[in-house]
Amino acid sequence: MKNPVWSTTRLVFAILITLVMFFPIYWMVITAFKSTAELKSAIPTFWPEHFRWENFATAFKTIPFYRFTVNTVVQTVGIVFLQINIGIMAAYAFAKGSFKGREQLFMLVLAALIVPEQVVFVPVYVMMSKLGWINTYYALIIPHAASAYGIFLLRQTFRSINNDVIEAARVDGANRFQVLYRILTPMALPTVATLTVISFISSWNSYFWPLVMTNSNQMRVLTVGIAMMRDSVAGDESLTFHLLMAASILVILPIVIVFIFAQKYIIAAMANSTFK
């Protein structure tokens, strides 16, 4: 029999943790609808006097929001597409392939997980510069074309699939790509969806890499654009903090939408016995 005191304590603790995690989001949302006078008030208000939707329109005009959005979409779609497809093919080779040095190569892939981006950005920057790719989509996308974590995640899923399925498909005349994309990938759909969401969020929120790889507004992305908004009013943020919050909401909205539609696949992937 469960201890009611313990159950109540766990529930209260869970509610408190949820409130602590949710409060910054709540504060961002209500701040986005406030006026400048409310922001300058000595006593903070937890609900705006009037919902000022024009703050979003103003934020949209403060920076080249449309151009930054296009750049962010191109970067994100390119990275997600490459990471998913390269991850699927590499994971298939590591899970079902048979070649000399397979395990050693996979160890090198895992080793890449412990190397932070900031460690390798100088040699990669030099490489991009010599190729003439600085301030282009190539510099934003190609260095992130493969994900070590994605390869690991998909390899674990493919290893759990019985080889008899592959043999049956080959008997029916399927080639390697047909086996991979028509048989194995649909069977690993929860994992693929999870990796897609993770890759999407990481690429959409990327700040450091676009900052060092671009040098003009023509190629900037949304995260860098918000930082530019902040820096343009340095020392007087209280007058435009509501615009920064409005811009932040516009930036995170696609992430929220993607997560809402993909959450069932993420839960299914995490509940899979492969990861237990």
Report the alpha-carbon angle 98-99-105, nearest 5.
110
Q: Look at residue 129 in the predicted model and tell me its pLDDT.
A: 92
**CATH number, domain at 153?**
1.10.3720.10
Residue 57 resides in a domain: no
Contact 154, 192 (CB under 8 A): yes
Residue 16 resides in a domain: no
- Number of domain units in the chain: 1
**Alpha-carbon dihedral angle through residues 193, 199, 201, 205, given to the nearest 10 degrees:** -170
Among 26, 23, 39, smallest CA distance to 237 is for: 39
Q: Look at residue 242 in the predicted model and tell me its pLDDT.
A: 81
User: Cβ neighbours of residue 245 under 8 Å, at least 6 residues apart?
Assistant: 28, 29, 31, 32
What is the rounded CA–CA span in Å between residue 56 and residue 250? Answer: 8
Q: Look at residue 273 in the predicted model and tell me its pLDDT.
A: 41
Residue 36 resides in a domain: no
The residue that leads in pLDDT, 39 or 70, is 70
Residue 89 resides in a domain: yes
What is the rounded CA–CA span in Å between residue 120 and residue 102? Answer: 25
pLDDT tens-digit profile of 129-182? 999 999 999 999 999 999 888 999 899 888 888 888 888 888 888 888 888 888
pLDDT tens-digit profile of 83-111? 999 999 999 999 888 888 888 898 888 88
Mean pLDDT of 45-62: 84
* Residue 235 pLDDT class (50, 70, 90 cuts): low
Residue 154 resides in a domain: yes
What is the rounded CA–CA span in Å between residue 2 and residue 7? Answer: 7
Range of the domain at 81: 64-275
Q: Look at residue 276 in the predicted model and tell me its pLDDT.
A: 43
What is the rounded CA–CA span in Å between residue 166 and residue 92? Answer: 11
Residue 233 resides in a domain: yes
Which amino acid type is present at position 91? Answer: A
Residue 102 resides in a domain: yes
Q: Where are the alpha helices (DSSP H) in the chain?
A: 4-32, 36-40, 54-62, 65-96, 102-111, 117-131, 137-141, 148-159, 163-171, 176-178, 185-187, 189-204, 208-213, 222-232, 241-271
What is the rounded CA–CA span in Å between residue 208 and residue 205? Answer: 10
Residue 234 resides in a domain: yes
What is the rounded CA–CA span in Å between residue 190 and residue 192? Answer: 5
Among 91, 76, 102, smallest CA distance to 201 is for: 76
